């Protein structure tokens, strides 16, 4: 099934869109506004794959008891592939949350296999898997610290490295980042995150524009990381 929306197509004119049109692979197009989420559970008939071709999301694994685990932050040219285990399907689901306006292509793996014509298309898909694996690996460093403070700091470092915009002696993280989101990603209490943000602001390491939820990291922040051997 195809969904044609003119305003989307202007943004999505890239090689992946061309590939799907030419190969006649059935697909869906999704747009998530910042803060919106998609929920994914076990699919018995069709294993879905999702290409993030514009935007940034973070992924949570959520258990029926309400607990959740942060998995990764993914950006453009990533692929979302949940290797669902039917034995766990009654106990977990996955939540994909947009950090900024984000566009997806969703398709069925079986349809892709049945319709691809050239080896190059498979290679392109493998490139997405490799890039996504790299993003999962980088994201895993956020939770590698036992200290909540260092988890928050590692998250800020990751965001600066992957998305930051350099401006003289500081780096701007170019999308809204609420303290509640920071607490979800780091697996921390929002009150604790608030104290850590205040500590970093008071030390003049960062500036947090509360109403716009924009983070600015100063050069002193990176000197602090180097002195404390946080990389």
Residuewise pLDDT in 10s, the chain (231 residues): 334 444 444 444 456 677 777 777 788 888 899 999 988 876 656 677 888 988 999 999 998 888 899 999 999 889 998 765 555 667 788 999 999 999 988 888 777 777 666 555 666 778 888 889 999 998 998 988 888 999 999 999 999 988 888 888 889 988 888 889 999 999 999 999 999 999 999 988 988 887 767 788 888 888 888 877 666
The partner residues of 104 in beta bridges, in order of sequence, read 30, 52
Say what the pTM is: 0.82
* 106: alpha, beta or left? (left if phi > 0; alpha if psi -120 to 50): beta
């Amino acid at each position: 099934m195809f969904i044609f929306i003119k305003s989307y197509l202007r943004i999505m004119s890239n090689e992946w869109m061309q590939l799907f049109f030419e190969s006649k692979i059935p697909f869906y197009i999704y747009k998530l506004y910042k803060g919106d989420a998609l929920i994914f559970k076990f699919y018995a008939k069709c294993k879905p794959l999702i290409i993030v071709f514009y935007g940034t999301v973070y992924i949570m694994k959520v258990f029926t008891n309400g607990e959740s685990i942060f998995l990764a932050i993914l950006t453009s040219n990533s692929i979302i592939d949940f290797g669902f285990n039917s034995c766990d399907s009654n106990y977990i689901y996955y939540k994909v949350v947009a950090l900024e306006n984000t566009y997806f292509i969703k398709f069925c793996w079986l349809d892709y296999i049945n319709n691809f014509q050239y080896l190059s298309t498979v290679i392109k898909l493998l490139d997405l898997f490799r890039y996504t694996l790299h993003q999962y690996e980088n994201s895993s460093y956020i939770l590698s610290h036992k200290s909540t403070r260092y988890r928050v700091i590692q998250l800020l470092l990751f965001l600066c490295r992957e998305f930051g915009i350099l401006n003289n002696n500081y780096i701007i993280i170019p999308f809204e980042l609420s303290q509640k989101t920071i607490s979800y990603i780091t697996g921390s209490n929002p009150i604790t995150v608030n104290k850590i943000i205040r500590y970093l602001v008071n030390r003049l390491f960062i500036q947090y524009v509360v109403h716009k939820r924009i983070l600015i990291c100063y050069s002193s922040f990176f000197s602090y990381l180097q002195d404390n051997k946080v990389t």
